[in-house]
Chain A
Amino acid sequence: MENILNNPDELRKVRAALLNILEDTDDLRRSAVEERNKTMAIIENLTDGVILLNRKKQIEIINSSAVELFSLDKKTAEGMCFLDLVNRDSTHQFKSILIDEDKKRIKSVYREEAMGVNELHFEITSVLLKDNEEERGFLIIFHDVTKEKLIEKMKTEFVSVAAHQLRTPLSAIKWTIRMILDGDAGAINDEQKDLLEKTYLSNERMIVLINDLLNVSRIEEGRLLYNQEDAQLEDIAEEIINSSQEILKIKKMKLDYNQPTKLLPKVKVDREKMGVVIQNLLENAVKYTPEKGDIKITIESDKKNVIFKIKDSGVGIPKNQQDRIFTKFFRAENVTRMETDGTGLGLYTTKNIVQAHKGEIWFESEENKGTTFYFTLPINKQ
Chain B
Amino acid sequence: MIKKILLIEDDKFLRELMSKKLVNMEYDVVSAVDGESGLAMIKEVKPDAILLDLILPGINGFEVLERAKKDPEIASIPVIILSNLGQKEDIERGLGLGAVDFMVKAHFTPQEIVEKLKSILD
Contact = CB atoms under 8 A, between A and B. Distances in A.
Overall SS of chain B's interface? helix
Interface stretch (B13-21, B30-38, B42-50, B72-80): B13-21
B85 A175 contact: no
Interface in A286-327: none
Interface string B1-40: 0000000000101100110110010000000000000000
A171 B84 contact: yes
Contacts of A174: 106, 109
B111 A182 contact: yes
A178 B14 CA distance: 13
B69 interface: no
B110 interface: yes
A207 B106 contact: yes
B89 interface: yes
B106 A171 contact: yes
B84 A179 contact: no
Contacts of A171: 14, 84, 105-106
Interface string A170-193: 111011101100101000000000
Contacts of A164: 55, 84-85
Contact of A175 (B18, B24, B87): B18
B104 to A, nearest CB: 8
B110 A179 contact: yes
A172 B13 contact: yes
B88 A272 contact: yes
Interface residue range, chain A: 20 to 34
A222 to B, nearest CB: 14
A168 B21 contact: no
Contacts of A184: 20-21, 24, 110
A172 B14 contact: yes
Nearest to B113: A175
A272 B55 CA distance: 24
Nearest to A163: B84
Contact of B14 (A175, A182, A214): A175
B88 to A, nearest CB: 5
A171 B106 CA distance: 5
B111 A168 contact: no
Interface in A265-302: 272
A227 interface: yes
Contacts of B13: 172
Given A171-B84, A174-B106, A226-B88, A179 B14 contact: no
A168 B109 contact: no
A151 to B, nearest CB: 22
Given A164-B84, A167-B84, A226-B89, A172 B17 contact: yes
Interface of B: 11, 13-14, 17-18, 20-21, 24, 55, 84-85, 87-89, 104-107, 109-111
Considering the complex of A and B, which 4 residue pairs feature the smallest CB-CB distances, nearest first? A167-B84, A171-B105, A178-B109, A167-B106
9 contacts: A168-B11, A172-B14, A178-B109, A178-B111, A179-B20, A182-B110, A184-B24, A214-B87, A218-B87
